[in-house]
Amino acid sequence: MPTGSEASSGLVLEHVTHYFGGLKAVDDLCLEIQPGELFGLIGPNGAGKTTVFNLITGVYTPTAGTIRLGARTLNGEASGRVCRAGVARTFQTSRLFRSMTVFDNVRTALHPGAHPPLLDSVLRTAASGRAEARISAQATALLGEFDLQAVAGRPAGELPYGEQRRLEIARALATAPRVLLLDEPAAGLNHSESAALMELIQWIRERYRLTILLIEHDMRVVMGVCERIAVLDYGRLISTGAPAEIRRDPKVIEAYLGEEIPPGS
């Protein structure tokens, strides 16, 4: 039975506004994303979607408004602290550690949660050995779940594009988040790859019991996996609702979709 306190344990944005100089990139945005929800954020280019991600993850501090995860206020926190509070993200353009191996990319993400004291590592104590073994075991398990164990030893920059995207999601999950922000995960993927991605996103949510916030231009993916969708235009929220409602909303059609998408596409 949802109560008031439970409802607020999700990710909440209250009257969030952000200016870049004189440009209002995000305008009085209010969103409430329930725990465990798969939420889509769509809108035309330049609507402020990625800015919203950057505001949530502490890359920018909002000019006004508050961002909360449960009872914790996130705005004004550095992105490292936001991550440790339980918000992980991927980036629109891949930001893997390209010269590091696939395995080490994931191990790096496990570091903040499991590292031994620096001096232990310098002296190679038994405790540091155990911590390293734990990190490696977790990384191996995660790579197994994402079907990346075969390429574990290769530099991340050498992977095919689809695997790079998968690795980025695996690396974000290594930080043990409660909320996962995916910034255009289907960009550049072909038809069958994006179909596999849809399955993967749903599987991740079930497997890790996460709240997922998704920015995506591929309407098939957004409409297919999201339970609710918010539409931004010029930094303002113009509509929120289930995919079926969004599809029919004349404001959304005018600003973004262009024409009504026939159901079942």
Q: Which residues bind other proteins (CB under 8 A)?
A: 57, 59, 78-80, 83-84, 88-89, 91, 95-100, 104, 107-116, 118, 121-124, 126, 128, 131-132, 135, 171-172, 174-175
| Token pair listed for 72 | 């914790």
Q: Quick one: how many helices (H) and strands (E) in the chain?
A: 11, 10
Asked if residue 246 lies in contact with residue 239, where contact means CB atoms within 8 angstroms, the answer is yes
- Phi/psi of residue 6, nearest 5 degrees: -70, -40
Asked if residue 216 lies in contact with residue 249, where contact means CB atoms within 8 angstroms, the answer is no
Nearer to other proteins (CB atom), residue 168 or residue 233: 168
> Closest distance between other proteins and the C-beta of residue 212, in Å?
16
DSSP string, 230-258: EEEETTEEEEEE-HHHHHH-HHHIIIII-
> Closest distance between other proteins and the C-beta of residue 97, in Å?
4
> Closest distance between other proteins and the C-beta of residue 135, in Å?
6
Nearer to other proteins (CB atom), residue 96 or residue 223: 96
Nearer to other proteins (CB atom), residue 64 or residue 123: 123
Nearer to other proteins (CB atom), residue 85 or residue 187: 85
CA angle 245, 228, 198 (to 5 degrees): 110
Nearer to other proteins (CB atom), residue 76 or residue 112: 112
- Pairing mode of beta strands 11-20, 64-69: antiparallel
> Closest distance between other proteins and the C-beta of residue 122, in Å?
5
> Closest distance between other proteins and the C-beta of residue 50, in Å?
13
- DSSP 8-class letter at 151: G
